[in-house]
Amino acid sequence: MDIIITGFLLGGTYALIAMGLNLQYGMARIMNLANGEMLVAGGFAAFWFWTAAQVSPLLTVFVVAPVAFAANWLLYIVFLRPLVKRARSRGQLEVDAILTTFGLSFVSVGLMLAVFGGDYFSYSYLSFPVHILGDSYGANRVAAFVSAVVICGALWLWLDRSRAGLTIRAIAVAPDSARLVGIDVGKMAALAFALGGAVTATGGALISTFLTLDASTGVMFTLKALIIVIMGGVGDVRGTIIAALALGLLETFVATVIDPGLTLAAAYLLFVIILLVRPQGLFGRRSA
């Protein structure tokens, strides 16, 4: 039972991280392979604020999110918009975006190594136990889970109900048609990308409360976020959440019952099975 709850707690936080990538890939159509680095940066920020000034990560989030938003907006305008403009086809854009974001990811890792060094960083925050259904869990995991739920829920409502949310979903499904009804696709894509980055960085700040990070762990998170987004169906919010919970459960199960060193292998195997059985993911649209 505690595996299930721990898995859920982990999955909830994964959902937040994957949501960021979902916004960037599903809506802004940029396969952002530097996603993991944005997460680590958010974690670094939380670590720094906590160790330097005892500011709770739950509050640091309010600083990290806007900064990440602005940074990602800039990244989109400077690096990615030129690619969107010059791409002759969607496939070409994806390849260019992959190479560019790979480049950005390596540059970020290099910069982080230079600035922060290669050490792992972790800190203890809210690490007292909390009792749920008879077992104890780290309060930090619970807090992260609750925050993730709140944020994901808010995002879902926003995307579903608000006008801006509708616009973003429109450009995800049919950017050319969206242009025809007067939507500024470029600006909306930048917005989606920036929002995605902010969400990811927030997720990073939250996850740093209970996981150890260092400059090179970004890739792992990018891979997991990718797997979740594809499993759930690119662009679909419910799918991302469900897939994230599933992955959290699977990882916790494998780590507890089999071997903690096989968590990525398990995630990867799940990915392969999805690709073979239902490549469009749980809720994805099958492309003709």
Partner 1 sequence: MRLTSNDWRNLTLAALGLAIAACLPWLLGNYALTIGVTIAMYTVLATSWALFSGPTHYISLATAAFFGVGTYVTGIGIQHLPYWTLLPLAGVIGAVLAALVGLATLRLSGVYFVIFTLGLAEFIRQVITWGQNVSGTKGIYVLTSITEAHIYWQLLGLAALVYLLGWAIGRSRLGFALRIIGDDEQVARHSGIHTARAKILLFLVPGSVAAITGAILAPRYVYIEPSLAFAPMLSFQVVIMALLGGTGRLWGPLVGVIPFTFLWEAISITVPNQTTLLLGVSFLIIVYLLPKGFVGLFGAIRRRMGSEGLV
Residues near partner 1 (CB under 8 A) are 31, 79, 82-83, 91-92, 94-96, 98-100, 102-111, 113-114, 118, 219, 223, 226-227, 230, 259, 261-262, 264-265, 268-269, 271-272, 275-276, 279, 287
Angle value at C-alpha 59, between 53 and 64, nearest 5 degrees: 90
Least separation in angstroms between residue 4's CB and partner 1 is 24
Nearer to partner 1, 3 or 98 (CB): 98
User: How far apart are CB 112 and partner 1 at their closest, in Å?
Assistant: 9
DSSP alpha helix (H) spans, 162-184:
163-173, 175-180
- Cβ neighbours of residue 286 closer than 8 Å, sequence gap 6 or more: 280
The smaller minimum CB distance to partner 1, of residues 149 and 219, is found at 219
Q: What is the DSSP string of 242-281?
A: HHHHHHHHHHHHIIIII-GGGHHHHHHHHHHHHHHH-TT-
Q: How far is the CB of 272 from partner 1 (least distance, A)?
A: 6
How far is C-alpha 83 from the geometric centre of its chain's CA atoms?
A: 22
**Shortest spacing between CB 277 and partner 1, in angstroms:** 11
Could you tell me the smallest distance in angstroms from the CB atom of residue 62 to partner 1? 30
**Smallest gap from residue 8 Cβ to partner 1 (A):** 24
DSSP state of 211: S
**Cα–Cα dist 217/230, whole Å:** 21
> For residues 10 and 226, which CB has a smaller minimum distance to partner 1 in the complex?
226
Rounded alpha-carbon distances, angstroms, from residue 263 to 5, 52, 247, 256, 283: 17, 33, 10, 10, 24
SS3 88: coil
Which is closer to partner 1, CB of 90 or CB of 135?
A: 90
Residue closer to partner 1, measured from CB, 129 or 279: 279
